[in-house]
Structure 1
Amino acid sequence: MGSYFSVRINENSQGQIYRTLDLGAQGIVVPHVNTKEEAENVVAGGKFAPIGQRGMTTSRQGYGVPNFLEIANDKSLLVILIEDIVAYNNLDSILEVDDIDVFFVAPGDFAQSMGYINDMGNKEVTSTIDNALKKIIDSGKTAGTMCNLSNTNKFARMGVQFLFAGTGEWMANGAKQFVNEGES
């Protein structure tokens, strides 16, 4: 897939989705997609006809590009966040929705929705997340999740193709290395 400039919006609103894309974002990340209908709404707002219902009046980026709608449909990245146990329970039907590029299992909110606040490492949580990722991968869709130094290889071996790492661990390790180099 490469690298995309993506924006996490704050709600699953068709207007917010297409306006964010019209302003120049190459992709959107939509939180708390819990049902098939909510996933279909993301596609409706994020893709032009015949796939979706995104408004035909393009922003400046479409001027002079005769096949802009086709290019935009092909290049726009739609990521939905599977971050609630409700979404996990509905995952089979959510995975029936075409034109979602990444089904991203977000562990923090997911754990919280299972009653494990600040406990993403709980065995029940990690098992459920692993099962969700396996379902996504087995369906032929692209799975994504958060990773860190301790689980990146595990997720890559599972077939997770969209890995997101926070900067905290990198910065802490880089700072330690910098100090160690400076003291030697």
Structure 2
Amino acid sequence: MKRRSGIMHWLNLALSSPIGLWIQRAFLAAIWFAACKDKLLFPRQFRSFIERYQIPWLEGWPLVLVTLTIPVLELLLGFLLLTGFALQGALILTAGLMLAFLVLIGQAAIRGLDITNCGCFSVKDQPEGLARFFDSMGFHIVFDLFLLGIALFVYWKTFGPTSPRRMLGQRSSTSAPEPYSPQ
């Protein structure tokens, strides 16, 4: 049997280890915590950022619902990813939100909307210096793809067919309990 070596092999082993997977989850949690802070503190400003995307069906009560729901969901996902509680659902929701954000930012870029600050991390009108770069749409398209990749990688390594849970025969946290049968 051929022994595998090389940087990619060792990187895969490190990232796939329980500690490596927890560090990636903690990184995603930190991103969610950073993203929700300003949105929770300044919901009116966050609402104005959402309006800049000019989505026709997102007016009135749907806009208010999204404005109030997104930051709370981001906070909840941060806690779930950090603690590991309902991890499968948290990873699926993280990947789903990243896809939704990619579509939202992508459609704005395609339509030529001049959105200098996407509102992802800051609700300041004009971020300055390095913050301006980090709030640009181009950066967030690449960054959201990176975060989506992390969420999918952690999901695959934790719940996929070759995950330790599957190999050891452990049930997933979302599977139904075994029926009681007296012996």
- Structure 1 or 2: more helix by fraction: 2
- Structure 1 or 2: more strand by fraction: 1
The TM-score normalised by the length of structure 2 is 0.27
* Structure showing greater relative contact order (alpha-carbon pairs closer than 8 Å, 6 or more residues apart): 2
Computing the radius of gyration over CA atoms, which structure comes out larger, 1 or 2?
A: 2
